[in-house]
Amino acid sequence: MSSRTIETVPKAGIRQWLGLAALALPTLLIALDQSVLFLALPHLAEGLNPTGTQMLWIMDVYGFLIAGFLITMGTLGDRIGRRKLLMIGAAAVGATSLLAAYSGSAEQLIVARGLLGIAAATLMPSSLALIGNMFSDPHQRGRAIAVWAGCFMGGTALGPVVGGALLEQFWWGSVFLIGLPVMAVLLVVAPMLLPEYKNPDAGRIDLLSVVLSLAAILPIIYGLKELARHGFDPLAAGALAAGLAIGVAFLSRQRKLAAPLLDLKLFKVGAFSAALMILLVAMLGTGGGYLYITGFLQMVEGLSPLEAGLWIVPSAAASILAAQVAPVLAKRYSLSSVIGGSLIIGTAGYVLLSFVDPTGAMPTLIAGSVIIFIGVGTIGALGTNLVVGSVPARQGGSAAALSSISGDLGTALGVALLGSLGGLVYRNTIHPPADIPTTAAQAGEKSMEDAIAATNALPDPAGQALLTAAGDAYTNGLNTIGIACAIIAAASAAIAFGVLRRAEFAGAEFAGRRLTKPPAR
């Protein structure tokens, strides 16, 4: 014990916990906004009559611009004040939500969704960094981040349910109005409950770095999504390559700046880099697995989006519960053991997906999904806490932004790589009935979505036969993705047990101690 020095840190009081409740509001809203639009698409199509390309941009521009602006907003909050940026963002989210709800054309809605994404990018890093400021005690911070992560997971699951309930009574724009009362409450309570914090040593924001970060992240996310959606495409591949090249230029510039937009010295902190790596790799498997689980529920089982959303609720509940239990376990056991163990649990869930059958599949599918999301909840809570807790408070905004980006990038990679794998398996294992028209058979060989569309022009027996063949092939893709995700989760467990064990002193923060240097090994 001679190599350890125990520091006393202040405990959070009632004001900080009430402040956490206020910070949960924007977190819940962002998650809702990312998932609620799926149900509104048919209603929106009737009202605005968008083209296919416009529909894709309506869906994607929000997520693209959130990812693109996270680094900038995280650093901006460190400079102008995290509470101030949060409140500016909350007001902007309210205004752009109103603009989106009453859009009169597809073009106007695309612009509104883009502005909403930029505004929402202020909320995630600001709220997470403020939690780091409000909860100095590592154990309390762990519980607070677990609540924050649980709200995000809950919002994702509630999106289709809330959206379905609104669309039963109101028009498509009502799904965007959810944010107005939420942001109004935040604007009222934030000055009373949330502290202000900014980095007193931060320099001016380098505008060229902002441009380079956007020019790197946006093409990378766009390229990955388009490759997942359509297979190899020269434009998407070119965008991905350009984004990576600009990313290299961005990193090179950060090394030369006295006040960089992204401080690359953060990555020299072992616990910080390990946590980001685990979050990225774990979300890679989750992104691809979730894509095919929801697709199976709707296209193979024939459930409506609302029904599919309700079947996802048990998984979300398991994830939220795991996030709350995770800090308790991390207080008792080593961090590497808890995160590594949760990844092994997730591996078992993915293995179950490899046994899903086209008929009578629901028990196996839902059981596998619940087990997977137990691991996801644990990793989300502990990994995020480790990212925020392993850097100085003055860099909390940048750390929070990187935590969010690692999750977004991992999800995009999972959708692209595993989605492509599932599509390849589908195309190689589908056997359309011999007695259907050639055009229908060729459509069915492309994807499950095309097979469903082709059945509209077929009589019932032939259409059902094509659907059965497509469902079998889609299930083969799900089974293969289950195996691939199990391998990814097992590899992530190895990273956790290996890399985190070398930074094990960070795990002591979850037990309520802060060490001035690592314990001797």
Rounded-to-integer distance, Cα 333 and Cα 408, Å? 29
Return d(Cα 474, Cα 508) in angstroms, integer: 45
Provide the token pair at 29: 């809203």
pLDDT digits (tens, 9 = 90+) for 437-469: 888 888 888 888 788 888 877 787 888 888 888
**518 phi and psi angles, rounded to 5 deg:** -65, 150
Distance separating alpha carbons of residues 234 and 242, to the nearest angstrom: 12
Question: Radius of gyration over alpha carbons of the chain, in Å?
Answer: 23
pLDDT at 481: 92
* Per-residue 3-state assignment (H helix, E strand, C coil) for 138-177: HHHHHHHHHHHHHHHHHHHHHHHHHHHHHHHHCCHHHHHC
Please give the full DSSP string across 445-501, using - where no structure is assigned.
HH-HHHHHHHGGGS-HHHHHHHHHHHHHHHHHHHHHHHHHHHHHHHHHHHHIIIIIH
* Helix or strand run (H / E) with residue 187: helix 179-193
The pLDDT, as a whole number, for residue 347 is 92
Q: How many CB atoms lie within 10 A of CB 352?
A: 20
Counting as low any pLDDT under 70, the low residues of the chain are: 1-10, 12, 34-36, 38-39, 41-42, 52-53, 56, 157, 160, 201-203, 228-231, 393-396, 412, 502-521
pLDDT value for 516: 37
Cα-Cα-Cα-Cα dihedral of 491, 492, 495, 497, to 10°? -100
519 backbone dihedrals φ, ψ, rounded to 5°: -65, 150
Residue 515 has a pLDDT of 36
Q: Give 487's contacts (C-beta < 8 A, 6+ positions apart).
A: none
- pLDDT tens string 312-342: 888 888 888 888 888 888 888 887 888 889 9
Residues with Cβ within 8 Å of residue 163, at least 6 apart in sequence: 35, 36, 37, 38, 39, 40, 175, 306
The count of C-alpha atoms lying within 13 angstroms of the C-alpha of 255, restricted to the half-sphere facing its C-beta, is 7
Residue 514 is predicted with a pLDDT of 39
* Residue corresponding to tokens 């001679």: 2
Count Cβ atoms within 10 A of the Cβ of residue 507 and give its class: 0-12 exposed, 13-18 middle, 19 or more buried: buried
pLDDT at 202: 66
Amino acid occupying residue 274: A
Q: How far apart are CA 258 and CA 378, in angstroms?
A: 37
End-to-end Cα separation, the chain, in angstroms: 12
- Comparing CA positions, the residue from 364, 335, 356, 339 lying closest to residue 281 is 339
Residue linked to tokens 């995009």 = 412
pLDDT of residue 370: 92
d(CA 196, CA 83): 5
User: How many degrees, rounded to 5, is the angle at CA 456 between CA 452 and CA 459?
Assistant: 115
